[in-house]
Structures are given as C-alpha cells and as structure tokens.
Amino acid sequence: MGQTQYGKTQRSVVIHAPAEQVFYAIQNIGNIQPKEVKSSPIFWMGFPKPVFGMTEQRKDETIRTIQWERGVKFEEVVQANYVPYFLSWTYKFDQHSFPKGSVDDHIEMGGKYFDLLKTDYQLERIDEKTTKLILTIDYRLSTEYNWYSRLWANYILGEFSDVVMNIHKQRLEKN
C-alpha cells in the first residue's frame, strides 16, 4: 500500500436565488428526475446517477440520506449547519451502501485505497437574489500511484459536484 495523501476538489456555481432558498434546497433534494441529471462522461464510464436526497433530524444528529442508481444508499452525518451560509458533513458507509456491481468493485468507499472524508457547502450572498454556492469535497488516497489516483479522484468528484449543483441551479432558477 502506498503513502497516505489527502486531497480536495472544489466547484462553484452562481444561482439566481436568495441564499435561504438555496440552503433549503440543498438540504431537501427529494426525488431527482432523470432529465434533471446533466450528461457527463462519468455516467458513460458507469458511475450511478443520483436519484434522491433528504436531510432529517434523528435523535441527536442530523442525517442526510443519499440514494443513487443501482441500489447505492448511504448516509451523511451533518457536522455543521449554519443557516444559510454553511453546511458540512462526514460520510457513513456500511457493507450495504454499494451493492456488488453498483460501481467498479475495486472502488471501496472507506477502504484502504480511498475514502471520502468531508463535504462542505458554503453559500456566499452576492445580493438579495443571487448566491454563490461552493462545494468542497475532502478525500484520502492510499495507493502506490497517488499522483494518478488524484487525477481521477479530482475529475470524478468535480464532475459529480457539477451535476449536483446543476440540479440545484435548474430547480431554483425555474421559480
């Protein structure tokens, strides 16, 4: 096994909607229709598309439940929630999160080679009706080829971030 390295990818989008509406939308995604998911090479490569997301209070924690195609389901544990400016979570995967064949079987979330550590949404109010949404994903690599793995991690996570933020932008700007 290679040396452990940490990386991050960041994407941003300007959404013509108030920060409060954007913040509410990222917590309450709900069902995602196939036509809402923009085309991306990562889907041609076999990555499952997002289909559902919702945030809810459970006992003493706030949990985001995420579902993708092919039975992928996992939770995100909210670590910081500062309405309407910042939302941060860590990931909670189990042996059922990624059913066999749902993604490349060499990719194991939380495994010895790769892990998603934390994701942040930062919202910057540009004016009363415009918000800049910044998505940052922190990850860990532990391979013999971290330089190569980092290229792929940044590409895939960046593309996926663009897809998710595009869903929010489309939905909020329709109103």
Q: Which long-range contacts (CB under 8 A, 24 or more apart) does 25-30 make?
A: 25/168, 25/171, 25/172, 26/87, 26/121, 26/133, 26/168, 27/55, 27/64, 27/87, 28/54, 28/55, 29/53, 29/54, 29/167, 30/54
pLDDT for 103: 74
Indicate the pTM of the whole model.
0.92
Could you give the percent of the chain with pLDDT greater than 90?
82
- Specify the long-range contacts of residues 38-41, CB closer than 8 Å, at least 24 apart: 38/162, 38/163, 38/166, 40/159, 40/160, 40/162, 40/163, 41/159
Among the residue ranges 19-33, 55-69, 93-107, 127-141, the one predicted with the least confidence is 93-107
Is residue 107 scored above 80 in pLDDT?
no
Q: Taking 80 as the threshold, does the pLDDT of residue 106 lie above it?
A: no
- Look at residue 175 in the predicted model and tell me its pLDDT: 61
Gap between the Cα atoms of 106 and 149, Å rounded: 13
In terms of Cα–Cα distance, which of 83, 71, 157, 84 is closest to 114?
157
Tens digit of pLDDT for each residue in 138-166? 999 998 899 999 999 999 999 999 999 99
Average pLDDT, the chain: 93
Structure confidence at residue 112 as a pLDDT band (50, 70, 90): confident
Residue 95, pLDDT score: 87
Q: How many CB atoms lie within 10 A of CB 164?
A: 22
Q: Which residue has the tokens 């495994």?
A: 111
Q: pLDDT class for 111, splitting at 50, 70, 90?
A: confident
pLDDT of residue 109: 76
Handedness of CA 72, 50, 151, 123 (dihedral sign): negative
* pLDDT surpasses 70 at 20: yes
pLDDT at residue 105, rounded to an integer: 61
